[in-house]
Amino acid sequence: EIQIKGNNFSILEEHSSKIQEMIEAVPGLTNLEDNYEKGRPELRIRIDREKAALFGLNTQDIANTIRTAVNG
């Protein structure tokens, strides 16, 4: 798995394309996937389970709330 991270989406897209081209040139490589969706940033959230539990929350409750807040 290769992850490319940053705040400038145009630069990320440029570098991602270059890396993908290099990887596709590797003989015998199969199942190359790119999960980048243009214009849709990705969130990664780490939940402190102990602190969440202090408030009576579990990871599923938090995930549902975040999903609703982001997607409407």
- Asked whether the beta carbons of 36 and 13 are under 8 A apart, the reply is yes
User: What's residue 54's pLDDT?
Assistant: 92
E strand or H helix at 21:
helix 9-24
Q: What is the mean pLDDT of residues 42-59?
A: 87
For 7-70, give the DSSP string.
Answer: S-HHHHHHHHHHHHHHHHTSTT---------TT---------HHHHHHTT--HHHHHHHHHHHH
**Residue 21: its pLDDT value, please?**
85
Position 56 confidence tier, pLDDT thresholds 50, 70, 90: very high
Write out pLDDT tens, residues 2-40: 778 888 878 888 888 888 888 888 777 777 777 776 666
Domain ranges of the chain: 1-41, 42-72
